[in-house]
């Protein structure tokens, strides 16, 4: 079951990226008929990024508010289907302003789909393979996007792309329909408890000392992402100005390097979050090094391809750092896409200013150097390498927690697991957790799926073997 969730999550991330990219590229090429190249550039790296961030934010807000209809697989299917009429509108419209508005709407929907993909990975994929899942999914999406856009401008801006959009959109819907819906109840369903004092006790026990600590975690990580995104955006602009004059490499090699960086970074993230963070920090220095090497005309094509390889490490870190937080419990699940949201908003908003800074060529690198000082300070305050303590013998309770973590169970599912291994019935589970019996059955089913067990007895046997390890 875990392998099924892994593959479906990869496809949920990759295929919609491919389906939406061809439409996005078509719209950008059509904009050249109405606007100058600088305006189109801003549309692609600034306004589009801000719109994607807005789409991510919209998904997060709706999910946090408990409006699960908007994250249901049928709702996501409907949003994907919208790209077909949007393609028609983009090709048939004869107004630059209207086309620009459609581009913004397209990117809001792209952000919304990304939010769904991030949250699905956080919810369904085991903690030990989140990195490789995201790396493979994003790499596959980028490779497919490159293949779909390897056509001439005349083709991509004509009605001939409609069949391609329809086919790719149809294929991207399949993994969405095969996936499971998110549960309708948050992990803390205290509204079902009739005893108000019990409600108060449960809320206090769950949130005392947790929200404050998590809040500071969010602040530190957010500051790191903002500073890293700023530095990368600024330095890459200066670097790209020189690369455009010297590089003749095919985009095939750059995309191949980007995919390789994403996949490798994903595996490193699964092995060590700290190592992944440090490599991501080092990777944003690369544009500065590449700038100096290009100045010396040192193998410009190799330098350019490596820039995409190192970009993969930054892309993985910014995207996964909050996915890991989302896996702590359902309470934080809606935060899964926050890393990408922060990065998109930062890059998009600052690109408006950076267009002018970059024209001085070295001005961007001076600003990057200034920003690097607070980044180092904040980074090492947040990602400290601590000497691990020697673990002692684990109790049955700790082993249950470890088993739940290894299987990617939510807080509510972990509570259900504890009751299941003690031979509790569905009605007993419902009474103990103060939930309805149908909800108890839902959680039992999820626990059995995630632990790869067909029956309760098989689950109990699995735990007994696990407790002897």
- pLDDT per residue as tens digits for the range 39-73: 888 888 889 999 999 999 999 999 888 777 888 88
* 6, pLDDT greater than 60: yes
| Closest by CA position to 379, among listed 227, 249, 232 | 227
* 248, pLDDT greater than 90: no
The per-residue pLDDT for range 156-197, each reduced to its tens digit, is 888 888 998 899 999 999 999 988 787 664 443 333 333 334
* 215, pLDDT greater than 80: no
* 81, pLDDT greater than 70: yes
State residue 290's pLDDT score: 74
- Cα separation, 61 vs 54, in Å, equals 10
Residue 32 has, within 13 A of its CA and on its CB side, a CA count of 9
- Residue predicted with more confidence, 218 or 200: 218
Q: Among residues of the chain, what percentage have pLDDT more than 90?
A: 19
- Cα separation, 337 vs 121, in Å, equals 10
CA angle, 459 then 123 then 208, to 5°: 95
pLDDT band at residue 129, thresholds of 50, 70 and 90?
confident
State residue 198's pLDDT score: 41
Q: How far is CA 279 from the centre of its chain?
A: 18
* 23, pLDDT greater than 80: yes
Q: Which of 32-46, 303-317, 450-464 has the lowest mean pLDDT?
A: 450-464
* 203, pLDDT greater than 60: no
Q: Which of 194-208, 271-285, 431-445 has the lowest mean pLDDT?
A: 194-208
| Closest by CA position to 449, among listed 424, 429, 420 | 420
Q: Among residues of the chain, what percentage have pLDDT more than 70?
A: 79
| Closest by CA position to 220, among listed 112, 339, 108 | 339
pTM assigned to the model: 0.74
The per-residue pLDDT for range 345-397, each reduced to its tens digit, is 998 888 777 655 545 555 666 777 778 888 888 877 766 544 434 444 556 66
State residue 79's pLDDT score: 93
Q: Which of 51-55, 83-87, 351-355, 428-432 has the lowest mean pLDDT?
A: 351-355
State residue 239's pLDDT score: 60
- Answer for the pair 459, 451: CB distance below 8 angstroms, yes or no: yes
- Cα separation, 47 vs 294, in Å, equals 29
State residue 108's pLDDT score: 95
State residue 109's pLDDT score: 94
Calculate mean pLDDT across residues 310-316: 88
CA angle, 366 then 372 then 377, to 5°: 150
């Amino acid at each position: 079951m875990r392998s099924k969730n892994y593959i479906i999550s990869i496809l949920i991330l990759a295929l919609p990226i491919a389906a939406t990219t061809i439409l996005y590229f078509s719209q950008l090429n059509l904009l050249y008929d109405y606007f100058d190249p600088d305006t189109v550039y801003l549309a692609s790296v600034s306004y589009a990024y801000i719109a994607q961030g807005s789409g991510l934010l919209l998904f997060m807000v709706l999910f946090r508010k408990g409006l699960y209809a908007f994250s249901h697989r049928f709702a996501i299917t409907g949003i994907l289907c919208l790209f077909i009429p949007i393609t028609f509108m983009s090709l048939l419209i004869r107004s630059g302003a209207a086309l620009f508005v459609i581009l913004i709407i397209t990117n809001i929907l792209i952000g919304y789909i990304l939010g769904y993909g991030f949250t699905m990975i956080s919810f369904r994929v085991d903690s030990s393979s989140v990195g490789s899942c995201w790396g493979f999914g994003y790499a596959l999406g980028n490779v497919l996007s490159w293949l779909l856009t390897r056509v001439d401008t005349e083709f991509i801006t004509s009605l001939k792309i409609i069949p391609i959009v329809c086919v790719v959109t149809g294929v991207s819907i399949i993994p969405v329909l095969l996936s499971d819906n998110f549960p309708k109840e948050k992990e803390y369903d205290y509204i079902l408890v009739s005893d108000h004092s019990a409600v108060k006790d449960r809320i206090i026990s769950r949130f005392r000392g947790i929200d404050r600590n998590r809040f500071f975690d969010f602040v530190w990580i957010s500051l790191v992402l903002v500073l890293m995104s700023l530095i990368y955006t600024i330095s890459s602009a200066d670097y790209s100005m020189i690369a455009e004059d010297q590089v003749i490499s095919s985009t095939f090699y750059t995309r191949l390097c980007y995919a390789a960086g994403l996949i490798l970074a994903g595996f490193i993230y699964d092995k060590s979050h700290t190592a992944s963070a440090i490599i991501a920090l080092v990777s944003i220095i690369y544009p500065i090094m590449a700038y100096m090497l290009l100045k010396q005309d040192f193998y410009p094509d190799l330098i350019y391809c490596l820039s995409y390889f190192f970009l993969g490490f930054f892309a993985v870190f910014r995207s996964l750092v909050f996915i890991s937080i989302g896996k702590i419990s359902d309470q934080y699940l809606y935060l899964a896409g926050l890393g990408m949201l922060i990065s998109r908003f930062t890059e998009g908003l600052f690109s408006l200013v950076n267009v002018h800074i970059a024209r001085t060529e070295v001005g961007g690198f001076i600003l990057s150097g200034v920003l690097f000082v607070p980044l180092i300070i904040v980074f090492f305050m947040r990602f400290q390498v601590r000497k691990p303590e020697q673990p002692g013998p684990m109790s049955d309770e700790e082993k249950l927690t470890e088993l739940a973590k290894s299987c990617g169970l939510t807080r509510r599912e972990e509570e259900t697991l504890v009751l299941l291994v003690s031979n509790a019935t569905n009605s007993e589970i419902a009474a103990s957790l103060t939930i309805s019996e149908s909800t108890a059955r839902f959680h039992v089913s999820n626990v059995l799926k995630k632990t790869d067990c067909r029956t309760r007895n098989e689950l109990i046997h699995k735990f007994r073997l696990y407790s002897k390890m």
